[in-house]
Structure 1
């Protein structure tokens, strides 16, 4: 008997496959529907009192009243616009400052020695820990609210940019130098593109920190904002409004995360394919 031709034998592919976007979306939809069904069943059967967990119908009723302006409060769009301006204003400012700082830290020991101690000192602290100090220094106007969110976004952005600067391999830089590239061209065309994936991930993490700090920021004498709406409703044990506000904040934050994922796929299509 002759041996089979090994070259013509089909190659075995790995059984492990990463699910595509379509299957992930379907799983997410099914999960959300299952959670909604469990929530409806739990409240309709009376297993949990409405004070602790109102029904989806009660939460939707509050959402409708806030949307139409019939609630005993400012309409939802006023709270939404105020929070968006605070969160995204602070996030944009943090991106413009923290990313260059992180790049400088990744390129120079001097800048790393200057910025690393203060960032590592305040980074583990929860925003509520230094909120009183910010109030004492900057009062109770709009500045302390934006500053608190800015600080919560600054550290993850700077750390991501610093870590990303180390993503370019020495072989890539040597290849660029061998083709006559200058130091600035190597930074622009080799190092920064290699750092971009981690910077984008840092931006996604930072905006999440920004939204989580929103309620603490709007505790500072705010009369409008999603965080203020949730906090004020909790004082009156209006759990339906609290849950409605939490869902709105979560949906907006998740929508921005999806936008950042789309930007990431557009700017760094090679990520995860190498």
Structure 2
């Protein structure tokens, strides 16, 4: 099987590596040629020096997968590829795109006879070894064509992925997934801040986090990552308490308003991220370190 991939950053590059391990031929294009060159040497990726060259290197019907920043960058590539791909080809958007944009793009491509698939991808920098959770929106015929790719990227062929429904549903599901993530991270961060604040008990936060990882009803991968952080540095004095928001938390909060469904935990978690930007509180420092652990997001130091 053959796939074209555009965008070979941290996640895109690791996805290409995982696909190559599964024996799938990957033709890749990235504006930074260093990323492409390293993948050529490491796993036999076929490099293209432009999107046009990438399309020409693929056999029809083509499958092209975008792993680009959501928003204007993804929009520009979707428009550009709509003029280069042929009827029957498939374009997959693996970015955290806003689902309403995805629905619009799917309709635009359908008018040209091009199939659109939206794939919400979770797994961060650990996905290469552990596999990725995939939430895929697509019509049935399109999904059947990309299903071997989904199975190869998932933690196992029979789990960790779901065909959520029509175009737009994958990115919608991923948006809600990230909203839940905001709330879980905030709860852990606030809880450990309270533990740290009781200085008279001299609590060992690393030991507590480690104990909670086994048998506790609040165990999770986010707790595992928090335990790793605290095991290395409980004070976090050199961590800048600036917690960025990716956009999906905002969209989830707005979706709650549009549907009239209360989402106070997810919405307040988003507000907490806003409030972190300029305040050096402990919970925000731990939040920042959690984001670094699972997603590789940069964390500024107070020494910078």
TM class by smaller structure: under 0.3
Bigger strand fraction? 2
TM-score by length of 1: 0.23
Report which structure shows greater RCO (CA 8 Å, sep ≥6).
1
Q: Which has the larger radius of gyration?
A: 1
